[in-house]
Structures are given as C-alpha cells and as structure tokens.
A and B are shown apart, each in its own frame.
Chain A
Amino acid sequence: MTRRMLVAVLALGGVFLAAYLTLYHYGYVGSLACGTGGCEKVQGSSWANFLGVPVALWGTGYYMSVFAVATAGSLGPWVERRWPSGALVFLNGWGVLFSAYLTWAEVARIHAICRYCVVSAGLVVVLFSLSLLDLRDYRRAPQ
C-alpha cells in the first residue's frame, strides 16, 4: 500500500470516530452520566461548537475530505499526479492546527480531556506526517 492509500484508510477510521462524536453531541448515543467524565464536560462546553457548528461535525467533514482526496489520488486517474499530495498536506496541516487549538482549549479552558479527542488529535498528526512523506515521494511527479 502507498502512503496515500494508508492516509485514505486512516481517514475513513477518522470519519467513523468523528461521526460517533457528532451523534454523541446530538444525544443519539452515549448514556446519562454523572459529569465527572472528560467527554461529557468537553462536549457540553461552549468550545464544542465552532462558528455555530459542532466541532465533531467539522471533524467529520474534514476526515471525509481527506478520505475523498486520498482515495481519488490512489485509484483514479490522478495516481501519478502530485496535486493530491499537496491537497492532503494542506488539509491535514489545517487539521493539526485545529487539533492543537482544541487540545489547548481542553487543557487550559475546559480543564478536562476527552479520550476520543486525544485519539483524533493523534490520528491527525499521523495523517499529516504521512501526507508530508507522500508529498516528498511525489515531488518530481507532474501536477
């Protein structure tokens, strides 16, 4: 498997993780709990929304975009092209910055850590690293 393919597979995992958190945000999954859990606190905080949209929904959109670009760049007519690598670095670069901002909010503002958010942040860092390596592999390929 190429790095691009690996990015697609991992991003699909991210789609399901973010979809779970979105369903949790809207109350379709998860059980009632005493508010000691980090995820309840994080999801219930004002930081759980960004520009009026749940952060988990932004995450779902982000992972779906990465999955779509990486899959198109792995199977479609763009396999030998460089642009999917550039697009992946761009998307995942934003992903890393946004995850860093959310992790800062968890630690410094909400004072709670949600384990699903930690897994997602780790996944984003791996996706970004793989995208950089992929871009290096394709540096001489046509746009």
Chain B
Amino acid sequence: MTKPVKKKPSNSRFVGAILLVAVVGVAVLGYALSRPRAGVKPVDPSLAAGTAEGYLVGNADAPVQVIEFGDFECPACGQWATLTEPDVRERLINTGLVSFRFYDFPLDMHKNTWPASNAVACAADQGKFLDMHDRVFATQDRWNGEATNNPKKVFLQLAAESGIDTAKWEDCFDSQQHYPRIKANLQEGVRRGIGQTPTFIIGTKMIPGNIPFDEFRKYVDAAAAEAAQAAKATPSKP
C-alpha cells in the first residue's frame, strides 16, 4: 500500500484570493470616500443664509453654556426632547446652572423637517418657542414625512393649542421668512462638524447622540468645574 502523499497547497490560489480581497476592499473604500460627505441640503440652494441664532432657554449668563443641534423630524431628537429634556430643564436650566440654545439642523432624509423648523420659528416670534418645540417633537408621528404631505395642517392645530395668534402665525409660516435663519443654523452646524442629530455642545465638549440625563449631567458638572477653575485663574480687577 502506498502512503498518501500530502498535496502541497497551491500558492497561486492563495495569492489570487489575496489579490481579489485587496481589489474589492480598495474599491469599496474608494467608493465610500468618493461619496459626498454631507447629507444636508437646504430646501433652496439659492437662498441666502441669515445670521445663525439659536433659541435661548434659561439665563444667557449661566456658568455652563449648552448648544443642541437638532432636527424636529429625527426620532432620536424627539426621544431626547420628550424623555430627557424635561429633567434637564427642571434640574439644570431652571436652577440657573445651564444656558441652553437650540439650533435647527434639518437633515435631508426628513421631508417635513424644514416646515417643522419654520413652524417653531414662527411660534417663537410670539414668545412660544418652548411650547411649540415640545408639541412638535411630541407629535412627530402625526406630521412627519411618512404621515402626511401637508404638515402645515397639524402645525396650525398645534399653534392654536399653544394659544398662538394663528392668523399671524400663518402669515409668517407661508412667507417662509425664517428660512434664511434656519439655513444659517444648519450651516453653523456643518461648520462645527456636526455629524448627527441630536448633538450637544456642553462647555468645550461635543457629544453626539441621544444621551440620558445622568450622562448629560456628568458633562455639565465637568463643564461647571472647568468654568469655576477658569474664573479662579482669571485675576480679579482691583
């Protein structure tokens, strides 16, 4: 009986497999790199941007400055606004520790997010920013791109429930007078390298994602400590 001969493995097949994986890998990475980075597009590219201006909640001079870049149609932003933000307002903003600013960051994946930002901006003109902000986030499933092609009907109802002068609000909404500001807020986010919504800037840290209250609090405490240290280091005027 002859001894079975151990077949020498084929080097050419191995080299071929390596080359195949390398070519596919380079092609996939090259494709990913060549795709446009930002998925943000303004409604009207020719629209001139206004001045970026977030909506202020709380005391502007509070020791910790927080900025949120949010999209009204983003479910993660909606979750944060309805589940976490009430605690943040009660325990951090209303106590004077945090100054909070909301900047619109409408993503192109959401069909009705620009009208939503517009609806809130028009409510803010009548001093009802927070009220409308909360209602719009809480009712995403009634006006989002999957629910309707005419979100204005829902926004008008929300405005009426907020006690807003609906005639004035409608004039404002239809004129789209706040679109330059929304675009400016969006551009401010792009300039700061925002990659997703919601994203929070707490003191000197940028934190993306729907973070729970405890984590938010941790960043606020760290920013407050930093601010206190900076104040100590600054020599007081004689």
Q: A-side interface residues toward B, CB under 8 Å?
A: 1-2, 5, 8-9, 12-13, 15-16, 19-20, 23, 27-36, 40-41, 44-45, 71, 74-75
A47 to chain B minimum Cβ distance, whole angstroms, is: 12
Further contacts, 18 of them, CB under 8 A, given A32-B195, A35-B76, A40-B195: A9-B18, A12-B22, A16-B21, A16-B24, A20-B29, A23-B33, A31-B38, A32-B38, A32-B196, A33-B195, A33-B196, A34-B74, A34-B77, A34-B196, A35-B77, A35-B210, A44-B208, A44-B209
B-side contacts of A41, CB under 8 Å: 209-210
Interface membership of B35, Cβ < 8 A: yes
Q: How far is the CA of A67 from the CA of B200 in the complex (A)?
A: 40
Selected from B77, B107, B193, B207, the residue in CB contact (under 8 A) with A27 is B193
**A23–B196 touching, CB < 8 Å:** no
> Given A32-B39, A32-B40, does the pair A5, B14 have CB atoms closer than 8 Å?
yes
* CB nearest neighbor in B for A10: B21
Interface-centre pick from B9, B10, B77, B209 (highest chain A CB count, 10 A): B209
Q: How far is the CA of A8 from the CA of B26 in the complex (A)?
A: 17
A23 to chain B minimum Cβ distance, whole angstroms, is: 7
**A40–B193 touching, CB < 8 Å:** no
Q: How far is the CA of A15 from the CA of B40 in the complex (A)?
A: 30
B-side contacts of A34, CB under 8 Å: 71, 73-77, 107, 109-110, 196-197
Interface membership of B88, Cβ < 8 A: no
**A8–B14 touching, CB < 8 Å:** yes
Selected from A2, A30, A33, the residue in CB contact (under 8 A) with B109 is A33
* CB nearest neighbor in A for B11: A75
A-side contacts of B199, CB under 8 Å: 35
* CB nearest neighbor in B for A2: B9
B199 to chain A minimum Cβ distance, whole angstroms, is: 8
Interface membership of B198, Cβ < 8 A: yes
**A74–B195 touching, CB < 8 Å:** no
